[in-house]
Amino acid sequence: MIDYHLHTVRCCHATGSMDEYLAEAQAKGLQEIGFADHFPLALLEFAPQTQVTMNAGELEIYLRDVLALRERSDLPVRLGVEVDYLPGREALTGKVLARYALDYCIGSIHFLGDWDFTHPRYVSKYGAYDADKLYRTYFKTLQALAESGLFDIVGHLDVIKKYAFFPKNDWEDLLRETCRILAGSKICVELNTAGWRAPVKEAYPSEAFLRECLRLGIPVTLGSDAHCPQDVGAGLSQAVSLLKELGFSGVTTFAGRKRFVLPL
């Protein structure tokens, strides 16, 4: 069991020390963990209304802290980041990411325009949207994320459902088209258990997405998206059972941005 999506206090909305995250992972018997804190939006020249990432100046310290933790840990600790995909800033994102020797890079969407639709503070804005159009916009952006080739893993694939705002019409075609593009761009999908703890109470992505991923041979990895030590490993046994039940035979791990398979 691995947990590739751990945050740290540096992102301004997480608690606990990295040693506490590690201790929790050891107590829960995880085989491998990876930190993937929110990459500084300032380095991508984007200024959100609410700060939700590290500051530019904190990145080097974060990278050093993870490597130092790896040194004193018996459990393998991977070095990752969770980076916002910002349409139109692909070249800048690629240039900035190339500076760091990472094990993996998670690409996520938290913003549509300047709206942080994942933030509880801005939930009321959903009311201004037609859900069918919103899903289309979100998944078209996600397709561009995959096609950018910038990331190893797509984070919380269908996080647009976080507050249980769903389209009225069938959107099966959009789901299929998205998976076809994910498969074509060879990106890995994380089964992110934070959805079970969110208002939607459903993992990211849904079983329908996972079935399509399996059918198309899209690799999967695992993450809790923990923002506090007690959430490290949360929901992972349920996630592993679900993957096995669906017919997945392994999960993907990363080192130096190369992939390995851990059999389930």
Under the rule (CB under 5 A), what is the footprint of Zn ion? Answer: 108
In the complex, which residue's CB is closest to Zn ion? 108
Residue 260's H or E segment, with its range, is: strand 258-263
| In the complex, minimum distance from the CB of residue 51 to Zn ion, in angstroms, rounded to a whole number | 11
Closer CB to Zn ion, 108 or 148, in the complex: 108
| In the complex, minimum distance from the CB of residue 159 to Zn ion, in angstroms, rounded to a whole number | 7
| In the complex, minimum distance from the CB of residue 111 to Zn ion, in angstroms, rounded to a whole number | 11
Bond prior to 205 in cis (omega within 30° of 0): yes
The values of phi and psi at residue 225, to 5°, are 60, 35
Structure tokens, 75: 């459990």
Structure tokens, 150: 């910038």
Closer CB to Zn ion, 81 or 251, in the complex: 81
| DSSP H helical ranges for the chain | 18-27, 59-71, 90-97, 131-148, 172-184, 194-197, 207-216, 236-246
Cα gap 112→30, rounded to integer Å: 34
| In the complex, minimum distance from the CB of residue 12 to Zn ion, in angstroms, rounded to a whole number | 9
Structure tokens, 228: 């506090």
Closer CB to Zn ion, 123 or 214, in the complex: 123
Closer CB to Zn ion, 39 or 135, in the complex: 39
Closer CB to Zn ion, 93 or 108, in the complex: 108
- The answer to whether the beta carbons of residues 249 and 29 sit under 8 Å apart is no
* Residue 223, amino acid: G
Structure tokens, 2: 């691995």
The values of phi and psi at residue 51, to 5°, are -70, 120
Cα gap 108→79, rounded to integer Å: 17
